[in-house]
Amino acid sequence: MARRRLSSVGRAWRPLGGLLGPAADDATQSLGALALSATTSLITGFTFAAVTETLRTFPGLLLFIPAAIGLRGNVFGPLGSRLSTAIRAGTFSWSWRIDSLLGQNVLGAMATSLAAAVGLAAIAEFVATWLRDGEGSVIGIADFVVVSVFGGTVASIVVLVITLGLAVASARFGWDLDNVTAPLVSASGDFVTLPALVLATYLIQRGTVTRALAVAFVVFALAVVVLLVRSMLRISRQVLLESLPVLVVAGTLSLVAGAVLERSIERLLTFSVLLVLLPGYLSTAGALGGILSSRLSTKVHLGLIEPARIPRGDARADIRVTFALALPIFALLAVLAGTVGSLAGRTSPGLLMLVSVALTGGLVATAFVAGIAYYGTLAVVRFGLDPDNHGIPLVSASLDVIGALTLVGALLLWRVA
């Protein structure tokens, strides 16, 4: 009950006419996490803008980046969601034994990340080659495997530490882990993964060395999957087997988003501030969906939400909060990107136009978030699966595609570039 009392910060939401009601504390926590995510995304955006030559040097890499970045959130967002459910249900304990709830969840997440990285590389090679259709070559399958596994593993270790740190902080400061995991894991995934992927490019297109590394990574990933499936670690096995199929679908959708961006690269390069905005825009849309999906999943586990064609009760309140969060966060993101980009000498269509593009595309993306998160969670439950393992990947992968399309659509609507 103490968590539900309005804090002095939470009362700042009262000018919205009581729209958020008792959810003001939840919204305050989420807004703080989203604001931090939007701020740190600027660093990712500048990194993205700075590596355009690398993207041109390695054809197909741009197509791969949204999927590789999204994989961190799709693996460690659900990890945070599972830990949140365990904390709320009173089954969580800080035991680092391999067969403990925490140990099995960590092992399952890392094994899933490794296996999904190999699968993502294979799909990326196929999609990149198919989309090129003879119009120039792309980097090879061995290159994709090395970038995906090496860069992804480096990023995964960092994001895992951050996810566990959030769990500790949530217990220490009384936060609801559902409110902060998605945006902060998403932000850390963006922040860490892109530099890790760029670092991994130093290992590709090196002939025998690259091929040997790729073979070693594939063999190791297969061995980990086989050993885990045959083990007695039920939770780890469940995480791996339930997560891999949805991650394959999520990765494929994210590759489609990458294809949209690759086809629109010249439009984005016309105003280079758009490259600064892009990572934060995609991660914010995904983070809003992640927050909603995580909260719905926890409430389904606790029996607080009943399936219904039209959201009602707690589900409707959570969706309302998501829209209330979207408006200030997308505006803040555009203002930060435009202001910092201008100071850094990036070309821009103007701050007002940038805010208009971000709000228009962002609110449309949020509408998709609400539908996918709510009906996706209900569909997963109907099939007898754990929504903690599926909700965030389904939402964030869909948002990669929808986010890319809504941003490009907003640019066309406002006749930018």
What are 325-339's pLDDT values in tens digits? Answer: 999 999 999 999 999
Residue type, 236: S
What are 121-162's pLDDT values in tens digits? Answer: 999 998 888 876 656 678 899 999 999 999 999 999 999 999
The model's pTM is 0.74
- The DSSP code sequence of 156-195 is HHHHHHHHHHHHHHHHHHT--HHHHHHHHHHHHHHHHHHH
Average pLDDT along the chain: 84
Q: Write down the H helix ranges in 51-176.
A: 52-57, 61-89, 101-132, 141-146, 152-173
Least-confidence region, from 20-24, 154-158, 249-253: 20-24
Nearest to 360 by CA among 416, 286, 289, 283: 416
Highest mean pLDDT among 14-23, 342-351, 386-395 belongs to 342-351
d(CA 223, CA 213): 15
198, 58 contact by CB (below 8 A): no
CB neighbours of residue 400 within 10 Å: 30
Burial grade of 6 (CB within 10 A; 0-12, 13-18, 19 or more) = middle
What is the pLDDT, as a whole number, of residue 14? Answer: 42
Domain boundaries, the chain: 2-413
What is the pLDDT, as a whole number, of residue 177? Answer: 79
Give the percent of the chain with pLDDT over 90.
Answer: 35
Indicate whether 347 pLDDT > 70.
yes
SS3 244: helix
